[in-house]
Structure 1
C-alpha cells in the first residue's frame, strides 16, 4: 500500500496558496519532495486550474476608426529606359561553322536562331577558350558593384582589389 503525498492538510494549503496567486513552482518549493508538475497535476485533478486564481484585468483596446479605402495607383510596366543598352555584337565577315564542322579551335558563339536553317557558329580560331576575343568581351563582362554580392566584394578585398 502506497502513501499519498497529498494529505487533506497539504491539499488545503495547496488550494490556499494557489488562490493567493502563487505559481506552481513557488508552491512546489514550499513542499519538500513535490515537483511543479505534481502540483499542476493535483490542481488539475481538483479542477482548480484556471479557477480561483486572480486573473489579470483584461486590457481594453481602443476602437480604431474605420480605414478609408486607398486609391490604387495605376500600374506602369517597366520602361525600356531602365534597362541597360544592348551590347553591340561583333560581326564576323569570315566563314561560319555548322555544328558538324566545329573543331576544338573554333569559336562557339551561336549566330542566328537554332530553329532556323541558317543557324551556325562564329567559327573563328581561338586559343583554349570557347569564344574568340570579340565574343569573349561580350560574354564575360564584370558585374557592376551594385549587383555583385557580398561574397564577391570580400573575395576582392582578400586579393587586394578594391
Structure 2
C-alpha cells in the first residue's frame, strides 16, 4: 500500500476532525489501524488527547479573553501526560518527590555470634545463613539454633524476610 499525496491529505483532514485511527483506516480502505498510527507519527501530527466528536469540540471552545489570566493548580496535582511529536507519552510532575529515609528501629536487635559450621555439620535445626564467599576457604554457615520457624535463626530471619511495605520504601 502506497501513501499517495491524496491519501495523506485525507488522513490529515480526518485526523484533524478527531476521527480515531480505526475510523480513518475504514474510510481510507486497504490500510490497517496501525498503518494509520504509524503515518500519523511520521507526519508528526499533533496529539489530540481524548477522542471527541467535532460537535463537542465546538461547544467546548470558549471565546478568547483579552489580557492575561493565571490559573492556580492545587498542591497535590496528578501527573499530566504530554505527547511531543512522535515520542511516547511522558509524565510531567509539578513538584519533585521528596525521599524520606526510613530507619528500622534498632531496639532488641541482637547479632548472634556465628558458630561457623561447615555444610556437612548443618542439621534441620541449625541456621543456614551463609557467611563470606562460598569460593573461599573460610566460608561457613551461622549454625545457631533455627527452631521450627524456617532455615534461619531469629536475627537472620529478620534480614531474609522483610515485610513487602518495607522493601518498597527502601527502593
Q: TM-score range by the shorter chain?
A: 0.3 to 0.5
Length-normalised TM-score, structure 1 = 0.36
Bigger-Rg structure (1/2) = 1
Length-normalised TM-score, structure 2 = 0.34
